[in-house]
């Protein structure tokens, strides 16, 4: 790999990669070659433009010079040559004197993606867009972040589960639901693994987690919405309140960002021009009603008093937390029962409020968590309040008829976390293959 060249001694070497740049000068040719680990400069000092009868290597040199001159950007080549350390070379301090160059696969001369191409063009040709070092780094960061989360869960003796994405009924509500023909009937793509995470609590699994796709038939074209996204989910038993869920959530976020900073901080600084900031614990906590009052006092009123915090409100409360508390994260807690699912537990002293929260990161909601209601009679009553018939929730309510411990958990959008971490303008930039209302390709 190219990243390993700097640690090697001078001598014979073989590399392969995509041609990123060619400089064809009169007496020397330079090629920048890139693989997934980095880039290196190749040098052809034996340039020969015409046959030379006095040079026994004339045919070889002529053929090599011609081949390099005709290279198109993106062509994949294999090169053998002499590795030389040279501190004057800005690209890694090494270069390779070409001895032999083999074209493995040629690229068409007209590359459809340019440096100034818009997001839609780049998504049309996503495999070419992903060759950019910035994009390669995005998914290395994603890998590191996920691995760090998994390590926390595994250290806590949590179990990884894989829940079905084809369901007989809605997992959240019938809004934003994809219907799928399923043999003689209809199935639905899972909006979340919520019901199955809770089933694991009744099954005696204790802590569980899953990182998997989720689907929302949401016609939004905003920078933070997708019809298919990766959801980071966890659920665990033996909790006293949603405070326990928030504590685990903090632990996971801090572990993930710490790992990213340690492994990729330098590369992120180089390619994205920003420092990875690891938050301190505990994260700030603000009840939703108080947060709405704060943003109102700062000149913005959330349009509906009985509604969730809207995107502008999220930005405003995040700005307040940044200015007053120097923190990128804030938990908005104690949501009104009217805007939360029926399975969120309510406060003993105030049944109008739920033991739930949203986590805001740099002005965008990335997660919803809560303590769940585990008493079946209460669940049935709260379902009726929401206009749901308990009979339609039979398989779900059965989880609670045979004994289940107090439990809670959260679901978090992985793409939103990456977008905000790397300060990208859209979730499209950090999704391997984005799916939206008008995009099903590639």
Dihedral angle computed from the Cα positions of residues 232, 208, 156 and 276, in that order, rounded to the nearest 10 degrees: 0
Question: Could you tell me the two tokens for 402?
Answer: 């045979």
Is residue 359 a known part of a binding site? no
Between CA 119 and CA 361 the distance in angstroms is: 24
CA dihedral sign of residues 137, 143, 144, 145:
positive
Is residue 64 a known part of a binding site? no
In terms of C-beta density within 10 A (0-12 exposed, 13-18 middle, 19 or more buried), how is residue 389 classed?
A: exposed
410 contacts 372 by C-beta, under 8 angstroms: no
Is residue 132 a known part of a binding site? no
For every residue of 204-245, DSSP letters joined together read T--SEEEEEEEE------STT--SEEEEEEEEEES-SSHHHH
Between CA 331 and CA 360 the distance in angstroms is: 6
189 contacts 215 by C-beta, under 8 angstroms: yes
207 contacts 159 by C-beta, under 8 angstroms: yes
Is residue 87 a known part of a binding site? no
Dihedral angle computed from the Cα positions of residues 297, 301, 304 and 310, in that order, rounded to the nearest 10 degrees: -110
Is residue 365 a known part of a binding site? yes
Is residue 49 a known part of a binding site? no
Is residue 36 a known part of a binding site? no
Task: Provide the 3-class DSSP secondary structure of residue 167.
Answer: strand
Is residue 216 a known part of a binding site? yes
Is residue 384 a known part of a binding site? no
Give the helix ranges, DSSP H, for 31-182.
58-69, 119-124, 126-129, 133-155
236 contacts 409 by C-beta, under 8 angstroms: yes
Between CA 192 and CA 411 the distance in angstroms is: 8
* Overall size of the chain counted in residues: 442
Between CA 108 and CA 293 the distance in angstroms is: 59
Residues flagged as binding site for L-aspartate = 172, 216, 368, 372
Q: Can you say which residues are annotated as belonging to the binding site for ATP?
A: 365, 413-416
Residue ranges at the known binding site: 172, 216, 365, 368, 372, 413-416
């Amino acid at each position: 790999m190219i990243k390993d060249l700097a640690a090697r001694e001078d001598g014979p070497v073989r590399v392969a990669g995509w041609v990123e740049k060619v400089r064809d000068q009169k007496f020397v040719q330079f090629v920048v070659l890139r693989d997934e680990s980095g880039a290196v400069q190749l040098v052809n000092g034996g340039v020969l433009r015409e046959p030379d009868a006095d040079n026994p290597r004339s045919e070889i040199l002529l053929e090599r010079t011609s081949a390099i001159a005709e290279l198109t950007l993106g062509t994949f080549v294999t090169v053998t040559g002499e590795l030389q350390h040279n501190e004057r070379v800005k690209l890694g301090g090494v270069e390779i004197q070409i001895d032999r160059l083999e074209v493995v696969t040629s690229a068409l001369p007209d590359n459809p993606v340019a440096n100034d191409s818009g997001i839609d063009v780049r998504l049309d040709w996503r495999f070419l867009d992903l060759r950019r070092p910035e994009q390669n780094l995005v998914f290395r960061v994603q890998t590191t972040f996920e691995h760090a989360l998994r390590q926390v869960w595994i250290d806590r003796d949590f179990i990884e589960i894989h829940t079905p994405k084809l369901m007989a009924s809605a997992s959240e509500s019938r809004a934003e639901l994809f219907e799928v023909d399923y043999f003689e009937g209809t199935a639905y793509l899972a909006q979340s693994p919520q019901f199955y995470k809770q089933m694991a609590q009744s099954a005696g699994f204790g802590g569980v987690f899953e990182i998997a796709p989720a689907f929302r038939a949401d016609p939004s074209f905003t920078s933070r919405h997708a019809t298919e996204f990766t959801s980071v989910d966890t659920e665990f038993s033996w909790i006293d309140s949603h405070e326990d869920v928030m504590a685990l959530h903090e632990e996971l976020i801090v572990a993930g960002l710490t790992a990213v900073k340690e492994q990729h901080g330098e590369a992120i600084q180089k390619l994205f021009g920003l420092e990875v900031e690891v938050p301190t614990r505990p994260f700030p906590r603000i009840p939703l009603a108080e947060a709405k009052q704060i943003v109102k006092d700062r000149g913005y009123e959330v349009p509906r008093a009985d509604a969730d915090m809207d995107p502008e409100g999220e930005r405003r409360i995040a700005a307040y937390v940044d200015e007053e508390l120097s923190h990128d994260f804030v938990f908005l807690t104690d949501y009104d029962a009217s805007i939360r699912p029926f399975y969120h537990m309510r406060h003993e002293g105030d049944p109008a409020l739920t033991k739930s929260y949203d986590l805001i990161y740099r002005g965008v909601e990335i997660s919803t968590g809560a303590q769940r209601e585990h008493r079946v009679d209460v669940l049935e009553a709260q379902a009726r309040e929401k206009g749901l018939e308990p009979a339609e929730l039979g398989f779900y309510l059965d989880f609670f008829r045979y004994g289940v411990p107090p439990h809670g958990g959260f679901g978090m959008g992985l793409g939103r976390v990456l977008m905000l971490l790397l300060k990208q303008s859209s979730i499209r930039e950090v999704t391997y293959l984005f799916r939206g209302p008008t995009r099903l390709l590639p």
